[in-house]
Amino acid sequence: MRITSWGQYPLIDAEWNYVTRSHKKTIARGMGRSYGDSALYSHVTSSRFLNLFLDFDSEAGYLRLGAGVTLGEILELSIPKGWFLPVTPGTQYVTVGGAIASDVHGKNHHRQGCFSEYVESFLLCLGNGEVVNCSRNQYPDLFKATCGGMGLTGIILEVTIKLQSIQSTFIDQIILKTKSLEETLELFETHTNSTYSVAWIDCLNQGRSRLILGEHAKGEIKLQNHSSLSIPFNFPVLNSLSIKMFNEMYYRAKKLNQEVYYQQFFYPLDKIKNWNRLYGKKGFTQYQFVIPKAVGLEGLKTILNKLRVANRNSFLAVLKMFGKQNENYLSFPIEGYTLALDFKLDKYLFDFLNELDSIVLHFGGRLYLTKDCRMSEKVFKQSYPQWQVFQSTREKYYALDKFESLQSRRIGL
Amino acid sequence: MTKIMIIGATSCIAEAVSKRYAKRGYEFYLVARNENRLKDLANDLKIRGAKSVNYGNHETITESLHNIDIVLIAYGTLGDQKACEQNVGLALQELNTNAISIMTLLTELANYFEQQKSGTIAVISSVAGDRGRQSNYIYGAAKGAVSIFLQGLRNRLYKSGVNVLTIKPGFVDTPMTKDFKKGLLWSSPENIAKGIEKAIDKKKDCVYLPFWWWGIMAFIRIIPEKIFKRMSL
């Protein structure tokens, strides 16, 4: 069967199976929403039938569920009872297993950290077929390797997470417009007490931005119907002109402060199902890097300058200030600034991204494995210093030669 | 309170339908062979809001027919057409699973609903039953037979106030079609489930899911046999 992930690159032939206790060399796959080749291999194991809820303590906010349940389904269940995900990425169409494997972050990373902070425990099927319960106390090394471990330690079967209580389904949103990157970074610092903060930046115009801040509103839990649009086939409309126009219009958009429904605040792109097809069938990649705080401004400026010189623009350029790094071996966030850039694939793109890699490395930064489809082994090993601990943990728990992806092969894991 | 019986409850589409009705606080009676999955599914539906969930197997259906408002028959197999052509035993087995056993069930259900004088019988048939094609005519014949059986049943039960719904999905991405190449015409089980829920609520007679399969099948049905026999659909 032909499979690919969100970036539609690479596209490969693979054998497809559902979770069993014994398997060939494989990689777990949920919704296929990682951008590159982290969930691709000649044989993939789908978590599709791990899609049931197991236990919900709606008094205390603990939820036990199959690893194949999506974040959207969790919210559908939990919101009417006043519970929300303490950390959510920009799409609700990912599985909880995938969220752990990528140790995803959200607009509140500076305050609440990564998804794994709210994972109490999970059942992991190891390479020898044994199923173990991992938590911070039981198999702590395996816990730290699996959170952010890109599925390379085993197959997550069941998960227990802790939810966060909310009083309203709305978010009080404030949008601040800035004229430059300096101003944007300063404002991130000023608003470090805001629960949610993220900035959309215009790459070609000195990094002028819309800094979006948000707080859970008070009031009541009210559900709204949310319509969505679907892009049924590849329909390449994103090019340098349309991107420029979009950025100009978006920057000028008037409505600044308002109460918005949670879906609009957290998942604006989920409104357009299969928006990845707007890049055409050759696909696209998202280049998401983080640069340590001390050299953040300089690093970001160097990268934006590089984009300007190369005349490469990104439809979405999302900037976020990260809080402290956690203990997981391969979790992406380190304290600093992360910028995510989308690029349509063309034959010069990877050369260009290699140049960006050297800038990111120069400033002591690194790339997000979940978005990556092309980073070299050298770049990975240099920027993820704990890769050896990760690797020896895999060895200890029978994962070597058992759980592999195209990505793990490429980066030498 | 509304009570729904689902036969073939652990099929992908049936599970997706159940999850929708669970949110609405329905009572369930689930029938399937895979008891472990059934137990887990029952637990899941309760968490999602189902008022009560009981389950059993084919033998317990008769005794469980009390105050049932909706029955959904959702099981089926997609056999290997080529193998069926060579082995009549296999072909009969396919026909038995996808047609005869369903008609057997429907006979009993029809009598129950006729006495009750209300309710809905919904059965998942297929667009494959609309016209015989060389690539899939054993499955198609079974589904076609079910569709015609349902037409008759609908006609018979109309005066008793019982609604009979024929559901004709197109290509759906389920384990049954795991090895097929997916493309533009494919739908998710969740999407089909949404259509089934709506059709049951609106007491429809026959629905194509997604709706645009009606157009495709209308076109396929009007192709003259003289031309159709030369095609390789």
How confident is the model over A234-280, as pLDDT tens digits?
Answer: 878 777 777 777 777 777 776 678 899 999 999 989 988 888 888 88
- Residue B175 C-alpha, separation from nearest chain A C-alpha, in angstroms: 9
Token digits of residue A22: 């014994």
pLDDT of residue A314: 85
- Rounded CA-CA distance B94/B100 in Å is 9
Give the residue from A61, A154, A180 showing the smallest Cα distance to A396.
A154
pLDDT of residue A354: 97
**Are B43 and A76 an interchain contact pair (Cβ–Cβ within 8 Å)?**
no
Amino acid letter at B140?
Answer: G
**Are B44 and A54 an interchain contact pair (Cβ–Cβ within 8 Å)?**
yes
pLDDT digits (tens, 9 = 90+) for B127-158: 999 999 999 999 999 999 999 999 999 999 99
**Are A53 and B43 an interchain contact pair (Cβ–Cβ within 8 Å)?**
yes
The one-digit pLDDT tens for each residue of chain A (413 residues) are 888 999 989 998 888 888 876 668 999 999 999 999 999 999 999 999 999 999 999 999 999 999 999 999 999 999 999 999 999 999 999 999 999 999 999 999 999 999 999 999 999 999 999 999 999 999 999 999 999 999 999 999 999 999 999 999 999 999 999 999 999 999 999 999 999 999 999 887 778 899 999 999 999 999 988 777 777 788 787 777 777 777 777 777 766 788 999 999 999 899 888 888 888 889 999 999 999 999 999 999 999 999 999 988 887 899 999 999 999 999 999 999 999 999 999 999 999 999 999 999 999 999 999 999 999 999 999 999 999 999 999 999 999 999 999 999 999 99
Of B40, B175, B178, the CB nearest to A52: B40
Task: Give the strand order in the sheet containing A15-18.
Answer: A15-18, A43-46, A27-29
Token digits of residue A81: 């009872």
Tell me if the pTM is above 0.90.
yes
Of A2, A16, A232, the CB nearest to B178: A16
Residues of chain B numbered 99-118 and touching chain A (CB < 8 Å) = none
- Burial environment of residue A132 by CB neighbours within 10 A (0 to 12, 13 to 18, 19 or more): middle
Reported ipTM: the value is 0.92
Give the residue from B110, B157, B101, B151 showing the smallest Cα distance to B130.
B151
**Are A1 and B179 an interchain contact pair (Cβ–Cβ within 8 Å)?**
yes
Cα R_g (chain A), whole angstroms? 20
**Are A232 and B44 an interchain contact pair (Cβ–Cβ within 8 Å)?**
no
**Are A76 and B44 an interchain contact pair (Cβ–Cβ within 8 Å)?**
no
Give the residue from A332, A247, A395 showing the smallest Cα distance to A35.
A332
**Are A77 and B47 an interchain contact pair (Cβ–Cβ within 8 Å)?**
yes
What does the domain layout of chain B look like in residue ranges?
A: 3-228
- Rounded CA-CA distance A95/A32 in Å is 9
DSSP letter assigned to residue B75: -
Report the b/e string of B64-98 with b at 16+ CB within 10 A: ebeebbbbbbbbbebbebeebeeeeebbeebbebb
- Rounded CA-CA distance A188/A199 in Å is 9
pLDDT at B192 over 70: yes
Please, where are the H alpha helices in B121-212?
Answer: 137-157, 189-201
pLDDT of residue B180: 83
Do residues A352 and A310 make contact, with C-beta atoms less than 8 angstroms apart? yes
If interface means Cβ-Cβ distance under 8 Å, which residues of chain A face chain B? Answer: 1-2, 16, 18, 52-56, 76-77, 232-233
**Are A77 and B43 an interchain contact pair (Cβ–Cβ within 8 Å)?**
no
Give percent of chain A with pLDDT exceeding 90. Answer: 79
pLDDT digits (tens, 9 = 90+) for B155-186: 999 999 999 999 999 999 988 888 788 888 99
Residue A53: closest C-alpha in chain B? B44
> Which residue, chain included where needed, has tokens 């398997």?
A23
pLDDT digits (tens, 9 = 90+) for A294-328: 999 999 999 999 999 998 888 789 999 999 999 99
With beta carbons under 8 A apart, name residues in chain A contacting B178: 1, 16
- Burial environment of residue A241 by CB neighbours within 10 A (0 to 12, 13 to 18, 19 or more): exposed
Do residues A166 and A175 make contact, with C-beta atoms less than 8 angstroms apart? no
- Residue A18 C-alpha, separation from nearest chain B C-alpha, in angstroms: 9
- Rounded CA-CA distance B16/A228 in Å is 19
Of A52, A77, A232, the CB nearest to B184: A232
pLDDT of residue B1: 74
Give the best residue of B15, B48, B212 to mutate against chain A (max A CB count within 10 A).
B48
Residue A73: closest C-alpha in chain B? B48
Give the residue from A292, A368, A412, A379 showing the smallest Cα distance to A104.
A368
Token digits of residue A157: 């079967």
pLDDT of residue A22: 64
With beta carbons under 8 A apart, name residues in chain B contacting A54: 40, 43-44, 47
Residues near A369 by beta carbon (within 8 Å), at least 6 away in sequence: A38, A102, A150, A330, A332, A375, A380, A407, A411
pLDDT of residue A229: 78
pLDDT of residue A20: 75
- Rounded CA-CA distance A221/A226 in Å is 15
Residue B185: closest C-alpha in chain A? A232
pLDDT of residue A116: 98
Is B48 within 8 Å of chain A by CB? yes
With beta carbons under 8 A apart, name residues in chain A contacting B14: none
Report the b/e string of B208-225 with b at 16+ CB within 10 A: bbbeebbeebeebeeeee
Residues near A247 by beta carbon (within 8 Å), at least 6 away in sequence: A202, A203, A204, A205, A313
**Are A53 and B178 an interchain contact pair (Cβ–Cβ within 8 Å)?**
no
Task: Classify the phi-psi angles of A398: left when phi > 0, otherwise alpha if psi is within -120 to 50, otherwise beta.
Answer: left
pLDDT of residue A225: 80
Place domain B3-228 in its CATH homologous superfamily.
NAD(P)-binding Rossmann-like Domain (3.40.50.720)
